[in-house]
Structure 1
């Protein structure tokens, strides 16, 4: 039956009826609390006790502390307020389910008692401090007007001769009339009302509302200590968090994590990629983290699980972020791998190429291979097995200019494919102009193909059994080998800079992307070559 079900014994609450229709009965369903172990000892002990209390209240034999089915829920009928309380309120009646449990082992919690506790605690906290009495404060003005000399406050024995009758209590209670006030003799001058003191002599006591009790001072100190601790923890967390502060001002760190030479170049790359990075379901990662995550995976070949730990997100989020950012980087960086015009090529031609072959050298070609996992398909195994590497590989044709810049990269071919076939089918020959010279290795038997484009290929010759070679047959192969070595250096730098190409690529990266004629590995190789062009040339 679809929907949620209550796991408490003898409780038949469900979210859907037997026909799969949702019940609008207002009943909610809640998961069993988890044991939180990474937020401090206090939270760990509290959540552990709460999980034990829930399991004791449910009392299911198939439930243990370490194992509870993910689909099990507790409905709102077992709580006073219709839902569990906050996990830190251990005294709350709804900290654990206590209603309609089907047994008497757990006593029903008392809501009224909890409310009385809260009321007493609130009254205690809101009780105002007792007003302070200042013993040195001057008496009020009316006290000076009606006060008597000090001698009148002293009890003196009555004269022996005169025994006057004491007034009755009624006479004490009778208030004097205004005429009686006028008949009273005036007070001496020293007891009459004095003029007010100057402002500098008056020291009025502080009002009662400004005086803090000991409890308020203690609470203020505790709050200040907590704020200071929170500030220190945030500062410590920023040191371990992967953000802009990790790379700013440290080019060595930038080079280690990204392969780029400095932070300014990384910022330029980030600025160009940010408008196209739609976070979508990856809101936990900023554009900076998306680009850094992708470069760290290419540069250091870090596993998805390790990256999820470093960036504090789920491994599924890391995988989605890598593939999404890789697609954006391929679309934006692909123009960096382009074939230059003849004028641009001649402007910056290195002198060693000019001395050996003039200004006609247009390209140096070679192939490199990337190891892959063993395919499950028999035909795919036959197509990807390389006799040279004795392993399953994907082969790529790479072309560099005499300046050391990568100008052409093909899509992946099976390791069994010959270099000649890749050269003829990749579209490389269409970029040659009449009179161009191509430097290649002995395995590239492409003289006829290049000759059809009115170009020439230079390949080191072999002795073919001759005991002695002529001088020109020795000098030219030596020059070809000396200059053609640059493409091998570029391939070695690409492999060493991006260790992902050194690893064994999983088979799922050989599947063509949706709506494209490229695989994820093809995009990775192209992005690595584009990033290589952003760095200093090896020539």
Structure 2
């Protein structure tokens, strides 16, 4: 390695053809401080590669005897160039080479390779004069002279090694080191970019959902981010803007939809979003209430007769052009049996506590009446009733009959036994099952053979809708957790009843299960 004297204004360096000696700064702290003070460079501290040439000593060499004037360098007035040193312009190539080598060493040091420490260890193994001198603490002048002689011999050996190293290490070595460092840096940048992209895909942030419809559909059940954003715009004015809230409005809606869509437990959601379980519980109930009061009236409604007949599917238009609604029932199991009280009008109240009633009953499932338009849109959803309630009682008490108009046709696959109730509204009930057709006379059977397939396809519409709602939002498949069966005093509706209607409203925002043609 080419060593340069650290004294300001001194251009002496160890190069081929020079007989100068170069000394490391002493390891003894007191002597080292005296050398630093003698060099007199403000704010400067030596490192392992710092050297002081022999021209700054009166005798031309350092002496380790504290009584000697050369124990500390003292010649700094006009550090003239040695006669053996050539003109400065001659060493300009060496200046450039040294700058490149020093830059490469600095970069390698940042990578933890500690090149300078390795060089120091190598010098120790070779018996460098500075390292040998630091291990001697004797004040005897004769020992110091021997050490100085050893220093000169070792300096000559080090000079020979330096010349050989300079011959074997051309300028391209430093360039190669820089290229290797740039390649390593580029590889680290690429790895960093890939890790960021991977983390972005796994994160539950707004940016990660914006351009990933598959992710939106998996976590929310909605077809794309545009629909999700539309729901967000509808709900945001009704969501509280708490600055100290740990979840943003986007995250609150996403958390609730994930609860409905994947039926994840509150503890799981708490881990995913980094909040407490109580925060998840409050968020789900609050957002469900907001969607029940704002989204459900917008998406689940009974259309006018003109709207119903405007876009009837082909199968319905041929067989039942006056069809107003297709009805069916579905049940959801409960995680824990609850007690109910059935009043004389058939309305039920579901609670977790046994009510004070003459005939309380324990039920393990809830039954719902659902009304689907021929186009495949959910028009009506009843409140939950005990699973043992008859279809007739449930239809009579749920409010479905109030929406029928004279001349409407109500389709059902099985015998609901509500013909008299529908007839009282001057509407007509038609059963589409093959068993009901089989009980008619021969002439009706011959006519039915022509339209049985169409009637079966008509009923499949409501079956598809129910299955699609449950598939999109797994929470509707049950079992229903006990906290969701408690009646909300403000609305007199259980949280799970709200969830069923919200799920149907969200399903209506997706592509219909029934083709128009």
Alignment TM-score, normalising by the size of structure 2: 0.56
Query: Which residue of structure 1 aligns with residue 460 of structure 2?
Result: 485
Cα shift at 1:346 = 1.9
Query: Which residue of structure 2 aligns with residue 500 of structure 1?
Result: 475
1:4-403 correspondence to structure 2 within 5 Å: 128-129=43-44, 238=200, 240-280=202-242, 283-334=245-296, 335-358=298-321, 360-375=322-337, 377=339, 383=361, 385=363, 392-403=364-375
Cα shift at 1:444 = 0.8
Q: Does 1:510 align with 2:485?
A: yes
1:429-468 correspondence to structure 2 within 5 Å: 429-460=401-432, 461-464=436-439
SS in 1 for 2:447: helix
Deviations 1:349-379 (A, max 9, x none): 2222121123x11110001111112335486
Query: Which residue of structure 2 aligns with residue 470 of structure 1?
Result: 445
Cα shift at 1:252 = 1.1
Cα shift at 1:465 = 9.7
Please, what is the CA RMSD of the aligned residues? 3.8
Once residues 443 and 218 of structure 2 are traced to their aligned partners in structure 1, the CA distance between those partners, rounded to angstroms, is: 50
Q: Work out which of the residue numbers 495, 505, 508 in structure 2 matches 1:520.
A: 495
Alignment TM-score, normalising by the size of structure 1: 0.54
Q: Does 1:427 align with 2:389?
A: no
Once residues 277 and 403 of structure 2 are traced to their aligned partners in structure 1, the CA distance between those partners, rounded to angstroms, is: 43
> Residues 241, 469 of structure 1: CA spacing in aligned structure 2 closer, same or farther, 3 A cutoff?
closer
| Preserved contact between residue 338 and residue 362 of structure 2 (Cα < 8 Å) | no
> Residues 484, 237 of structure 1: CA spacing in aligned structure 2 closer, same or farther, 3 A cutoff?
closer
Higher strand share: 2
> Residues 384, 522 of structure 1: CA spacing in aligned structure 2 closer, same or farther, 3 A cutoff?
farther
Deviations 1:56-93 (A, max 9, x none): xxxxxxxxxxxxxxxxxxxxxxxxxxxxxxxxxxxxxx
Cα shift at 1:530 = 0.4
Cα shift at 1:384 = 5.9
Query: Which residue of structure 1 aligns with residue 10 of structure 2?
Result: none
Query: Which residue of structure 1 aligns with residue 159 of structure 2?
Result: none
SS in 2 for 1:373: strand
Once residues 370 and 489 of structure 1 are traced to their aligned partners in structure 2, the CA distance between those partners, rounded to angstroms, is: 17
Query: Which residue of structure 2 aligns with residue 33 of structure 1?
Result: none
> Residues 468, 343 of structure 1: CA spacing in aligned structure 2 closer, same or farther, 3 A cutoff?
closer
| Preserved contact between residue 234 and residue 295 of structure 2 (Cα < 8 Å) | no
> Residues 480, 239 of structure 1: CA spacing in aligned structure 2 closer, same or farther, 3 A cutoff?
closer
| Preserved contact between residue 403 and residue 537 of structure 1 (Cα < 8 Å) | yes
SS in 2 for 1:496: helix
Once residues 465 and 428 of structure 1 are traced to their aligned partners in structure 2, the CA distance between those partners, rounded to angstroms, is: 28
Unaligned runs of 5+ in 2: 1-41, 47-105, 112-184, 342-349, 355-359
Once residues 302 and 473 of structure 1 are traced to their aligned partners in structure 2, the CA distance between those partners, rounded to angstroms, is: 47
Count of residues in correspondence between the two structures: 328
Q: Does 1:534 align with 2:515?
A: no
> Residues 511, 468 of structure 1: CA spacing in aligned structure 2 closer, same or farther, 3 A cutoff?
same
Cα shift at 1:477 = 5.2
Cα shift at 1:250 = 1.3
Deviations 1:191-229 (A, max 9, x none): xxxxxxxxxxxxxxxxxxxxxxxxxx99x979xx9xx9x
SS in 2 for 1:362: strand
Deviations 1:255-276 (A, max 9, x none): 1111111111111111222222
Once residues 261 and 513 of structure 2 are traced to their aligned partners in structure 1, the CA distance between those partners, rounded to angstroms, is: 18
| Preserved contact between residue 339 and residue 408 of structure 1 (Cα < 8 Å) | yes
SS in 2 for 1:372: strand
> Residues 376, 496 of structure 1: CA spacing in aligned structure 2 closer, same or farther, 3 A cutoff?
closer
Once residues 339 and 216 of structure 2 are traced to their aligned partners in structure 1, the CA distance between those partners, rounded to angstroms, is: 41
SS in 2 for 1:261: coil
Query: Which residue of structure 2 aligns with residue 95 of structure 1?
Result: none
Cα shift at 1:496 = 0.9
Cα shift at 1:240 = 4.2
| Preserved contact between residue 413 and residue 422 of structure 1 (Cα < 8 Å) | yes
Once residues 479 and 235 of structure 1 are traced to their aligned partners in structure 2, the CA distance between those partners, rounded to angstroms, is: 51
Once residues 443 and 393 of structure 2 are traced to their aligned partners in structure 1, the CA distance between those partners, rounded to angstroms, is: 34
Q: Work out which of the residue numbers 410, 418, 433 in structure 1 matches 2:390.
A: 418
SS in 2 for 1:375: strand
Deviations 1:414-457 (A, max 9, x none): 11111111111111111111111110132311111111111111
Once residues 502 and 348 of structure 1 are traced to their aligned partners in structure 2, the CA distance between those partners, rounded to angstroms, is: 31
Deviations 1:309-349 (A, max 9, x none): 11111111111111111111112211210011111112212
SS in 2 for 1:374: strand
SS in 1 for 2:336: coil
Higher helix share: 2
Cα shift at 1:499 = 0.6
Once residues 365 and 437 of structure 2 are traced to their aligned partners in structure 1, the CA distance between those partners, rounded to angstroms, is: 29
